[in-house]
Chain A
Amino acid sequence: GAVVSQHPSWVICKSGTSVKIECRSLDFQATTMFWYRQFPKQSLMLMATSNEGSKATYEQGVEKDKFLINHASLTLSTLTVTSAHPEDSSFYICSATGPPREAFFGQGTRLTVV
């Protein structure tokens, strides 16, 4: 199947700093990618839809200034957690729809803010 790669897989940062997470579709083009957040033992919560060449669409309750999304090419979307705080610690996963219309997920990024 199609491959979506996410980097880094694990990051620890200090409170107040910003962290960038990359999501790449390796063997297909994705005009749209999606970012999810997952708390321990909980479900995936859709945060935003990343649109290539235009602004991201955020789900209700998700701060767009806090979670900056950039989708500059057909194979790359980035999520930047700005001014991170301990409550932002979570597992972040991206996905893209590849052929044949299946959602493929990145391997996830475990963010710990200390």
Chain B
Amino acid sequence: GENVEQHPSTLSVQEGDSAVIKCTYSDSASNYFPWYKQELGKRPQLIIDIRSNVGEKKDQRIAVTLNKTAKHFSLHITETQPEDSAVYFCAASPNGNQFYFGTGTSLTVIP
């Protein structure tokens, strides 16, 4: 099955700085890569996604890049704010139904 690795596991940044989280995947059949934000004790919420026919996607302060050849994708958050503090998960899916998650990154934005 798919194996998704995520780095770093923890990340602290000063408010206003950028944060970058990186993931790699193993199954070349994966074609959909969502990113989720999870606050403590709550359900994951989709924040951005990218499909394999696109190399980059941006939504305001959040952007995701995908390198299919190298099988890695990254989340970029610019101008970070304290409310961005949460755990972020990347995921890979071969069919848009089953999702294989990375190990998570705990992001802390220091005011």
Partner of B89, one of A32, A34, A41, A44: A44
Residue contact B100 to A46, C-beta cutoff 8 Å: yes
> Please, what's the 1-or-0 string for B86-111, where 1 marks a CB less than 8 Å from any CB in chain A?
01010101001111111110100000
| Interface-facing stretch out of B12-20, B39-47, B55-63, B67-75 | B39-47
Residue contact B99 to A95, C-beta cutoff 8 Å: yes
- A97-B97 contact, Cβ under 8 Å, with A103-B46, A107-B43, A108-B41: yes
User: In the bound complex, how far is the Cα of B103 from the Cα of A46, in angstroms?
Assistant: 12
Partner of B103, one of A34, A43, A93, A110: A43
Total B residues in contact with A, Cβ cutoff 8 Å: 25
- A105-B104 contact, Cβ under 8 Å, with A44-B89, A46-B99: no
Nearest CB in chain A: distance from B46 CB, A? 6
Nearest CB in chain A: distance from B105 CB, A? 10
Residue contact A101 to B96, C-beta cutoff 8 Å: yes
User: In the bound complex, how far is the Cα of B102 from the Cα of A106, in angstroms?
Assistant: 19
Contacts of A32 in B (CB 8 A): 97
**Can you list 11 contacts pairing A with B, beta carbon distance less than 8 Å?**
A34-B99, A43-B101, A43-B104, A44-B44, A44-B89, A46-B101, A49-B97, A60-B1, A101-B32, A101-B96, A105-B44
Given contacts A46-B101, A102-B49, A103-B93, 5 further A-B contacts (CB under 8 A): A32-B97, A49-B98, A93-B43, A107-B42, A108-B43
